């Protein structure tokens, strides 16, 4: 039996805009609830969310087949990447990528030899159905989806080189960090930041990669979708819960 098909990776090639939600609470019940709403993909946030390995595992189980989980790592640490893959994550989002060398090493981290250097241990883990997927080792590479997060001026300067790295499936523009790096802290909607983003998205698409971004500005989200962004996050569990509670409280 082969590695399970990565439906997120398959659908990235469809030309549709996949709509996602950020899971930052680190809570399996919140993840399960969100998974039943109809979002195409859900980010389990291991960079800013309070998530350790068992928290990620619990949320992967909670989401199940209801939606497509994307795990954002805290950095490009090879050992942590290996562990998250062994948990059964098939789509990874790695933040703060600024060079083609970083991108190449990330690719090596997610793939088994000879294409990469991922350690051999998943046959004992959830990724292989605890050994039930007999052909996991020989089929896993094809089902891994690697998304790299570019969120600085240095990253944008190196974008074409990053896009040229074989094994990178998509590039996610991080608007908040990019805004801060450009001198517009807390203002991702600032004109210079938006100009940089709007210049980057076509470059990503022209390179044959999937472009992604997060925004809670629905007008901006529609603009990005019209530009052909392949994976678009439109909010977070924290933001939706907070807004709903404030709205409810304001009624009374």
pLDDT in tens, 109-133: 999 999 999 999 988 999 999 999 9
7/81 Cα distance (integer angstroms): 20
> Has residue 24 been placed in a domain?
yes
Ranges assigned E (strand) in the chain: 18-23, 41-45, 68-72, 91-94, 145-150, 170-173, 210-214, 231-236
Q: What is the pLDDT of residue 123?
A: 83
Catalytic residue among 10, 13, 29, 48: 48
> Has residue 78 been placed in a domain?
yes
> Has residue 1 been placed in a domain?
no
pLDDT for residue 174 is more than 90: yes
Query: How many separate domains does the chain show?
Result: 1
130 annotated active-site = no
**Which domain, by its residues, includes 91?**
7-250
- For 57, the enclosing helix (H) or strand (E) is helix 53-63
Q: What is the pLDDT of residue 231?
A: 98
Q: What is the pLDDT of residue 38?
A: 98
What is the rounded average pLDDT for all residues in the chain? 97
Predicted TM-score (pTM) of the model is 0.96
> Has residue 2 been placed in a domain?
no
Q: State the pLDDT confidence band at 100, using cuts at 50, 70 and 90.
A: very high
**Domain containing 181 — which CATH number?**
3.20.20.60
> Has residue 45 been placed in a domain?
yes
């Amino acid at each position: 039996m082969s590695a399970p098909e990565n439906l997120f990776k398959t659908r990235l090639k469809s030309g549709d805009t996949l709509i996602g939600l950020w899971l930052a609470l680190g809570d399996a019940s919140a993840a399960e609830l969100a998974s039943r709403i109809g979002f195409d993909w859900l980010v389990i946030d291991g960079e800013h969310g309070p998530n350790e390995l068992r928290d990620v595992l619990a949320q992967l189980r909670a989401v199940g087949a209801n939606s497509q989980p994307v795990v954002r790592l805290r950095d490009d640490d090879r050992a942590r990447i290996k562990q998250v893959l062994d948990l059964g994550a098939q789509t990874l989002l790695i933040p703060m990528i600024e060079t083609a060398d970083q991108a190449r090493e990330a690719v090596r981290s997610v793939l088994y030899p000879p294409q990469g250097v991922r350690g051999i241990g998943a046959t004992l883990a959830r990724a292989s159905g605890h050994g039930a997927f007999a052909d996991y080792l020989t089929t896993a590479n094809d089902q891994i989806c690697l998304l790299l997060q570019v969120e600085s001026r240095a990253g944008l300067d190196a974008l074409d080189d990053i896009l040229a790295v074989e094994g990178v499936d998509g590039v996610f523009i991080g608007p908040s960090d990019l805004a801060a790096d450009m001198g517009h802290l807390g203002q991702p909607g600032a004109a210079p930041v938006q100009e940089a983003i709007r210049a980057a998205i076509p470059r990503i698409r022209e390179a044959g990669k999937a472009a992604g971004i997060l925004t809670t500005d629905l007008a901006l989200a529609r603009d990005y979708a019209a530009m052909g962004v392949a994976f678009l996050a439109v909010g977070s569990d924290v933001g939706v819960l907070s807004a709903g509670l404030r709205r409810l409280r304001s009624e009374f």
